[in-house]
């Protein structure tokens, strides 16, 4: 089995299909959802032994180190944690992003330290909550180096970057059997439900393997807006797994409600949190297990 493979499950039947055969057609905007609607096609993304989109949401823990030694220590802690399913290397926390050889070497060492757990490589831009500036040219050069020479399972690309370069990098990653998260982060507000759904649909049309959006709530109603948008996308349009969350203390509910909203992944911490409102992995796992057990009762 390839590292990156989709199971498209409709009703009780499931079949492994090439990514090129997955249909991206969706109902036209404005069409009413049928009563008691269920997902029209549930995609399960296989990364190594991990099935993303099946069962309880999978937990990502971020490596937010400022040095190679710290990164390896955090990777070792994630490897030993029974609560975490995959790791994210936040490259924007590390110095010298232009030294591609050093970054590739570190990625290889982190991969080894993770003892088989999948690795997601992410450079988060300052505009979307990252730690340091990087021009678009440097951003894409770094990711091209990773796609061509690193031992990663997934990369996170921001959908707001120039579209032609994004789609070219998506194609290059798929050519190397690397899955792609297309992401969007709004640290100021929560857009309207229709806007959130439109962004997720755009990510799907651009070829993402996982559709991600994170928004900042200014009220409890904003959290419900994000969750409703996620559930609408999951039920009506999604043919890829979702990763959606409302940030900050107000948004905690959204991080553990994936089986209600359709979000197949969530972030939690092993040590230092990488985003506002992030909980410790053991606490998140306990809640996810309770919800999963209740949903099977």
| Active site amino acids | 185, 212
Q: Is 242 exposed, middle or buried (CB count within 10 Å of its CB: 0-12, 13-18, 19+)? A: buried
Closest to 73 (Cα-Cα) out of 85, 87, 83: 87
Q: How far apart are the C-alpha atoms of 174 and 146, rounded to whole Å?
A: 13
Question: Which segments of 152-221 are extended strands (E)?
Answer: 154-158, 179-186, 210-215
Q: What is each CA distance from 224 to 59, 120, 136, in whole angstroms?
A: 22, 28, 34
Cβ–Cβ < 8 Å for 84, 152: no
CA 238 from centroid of its chain's CA atoms: 14
Neighbouring-strand partners of residue 90 = 122
Q: How far is CA 29 from the centre of its chain?
A: 25
d(CA 218, CA 250): 8
Q: Which two tokens stand for residue 167?
A: 């789609």
d(CA 20, CA 6): 10
What are the residues facing 269 on neighbouring strands? 280
Contact of 215 with 246, CB cutoff 8 Å: yes
- Provide the strand spans (E) within the chain: 4-10, 13-17, 42-47, 50-52, 58-63, 86-90, 119-122, 154-158, 179-186, 210-215, 242-246, 265-267
Who's near 269: CB < 8 A, 6+ residues apart?
61, 62, 278, 279, 280, 281
């Amino acid at each position: 089995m390839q590292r990156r493979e989709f199971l498209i499950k409709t009703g009780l039947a499931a079949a492994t299909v090439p990514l090129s055969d997955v249909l991206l057609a969706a109902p036209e905007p404005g069409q009413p959802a049928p009563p008691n609607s269920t997902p029209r096609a549930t995609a399960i993304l296989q990364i190594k032994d991990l099935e993303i989109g099946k069962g309880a949401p999978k937990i990502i823990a971020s490596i937010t180190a400022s040095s190679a030694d710290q990164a390896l220590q955090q990777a070792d802690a994630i490897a030993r944690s029974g609560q975490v399913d995959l790791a994210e290397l936040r490259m924007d926390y590390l110095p010298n992003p232009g030294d591609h050889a050093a970054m590739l070497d570190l990625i290889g060492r982190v991969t080894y330290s993770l003892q088989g757990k999948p690795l997601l490589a992410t450079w988060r831009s300052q505009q979307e909550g990252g730690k340091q500036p990087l021009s678009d040219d440097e951003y894409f050069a770094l990711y091209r180096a990773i796609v061509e020479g690193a031992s990663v399972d997934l990369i996170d690309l921001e959908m707001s970057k120039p579209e032609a370069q994004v789609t070219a990098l998506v194609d290059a990653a798929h050519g190397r059997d690397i899955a792609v998260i297309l992401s969007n982060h709004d640290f100021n507000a929560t857009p309207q439900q229709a806007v959130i759904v439109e962004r997720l649909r755009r990510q799907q049309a651009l070829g993402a393997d996982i559709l991600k959006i994170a928004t900042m709530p200014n009220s409890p109603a904003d959290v419900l807006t994000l969750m409703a948008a996620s559930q609408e996308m999951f039920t009506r349009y999604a043919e890829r797994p979702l990763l959606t969350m409302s940030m900050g203390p107000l948004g905690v509910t959204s991080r553990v409600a994936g089986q209600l909203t359709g979000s197949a992944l969530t972030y939690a911490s092993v040590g230092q949190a990488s985003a506002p409102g992030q909980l410790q992995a053991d606490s998140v796992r306990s809640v996810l297990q309770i919800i999963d057990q209740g949903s099977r009762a």
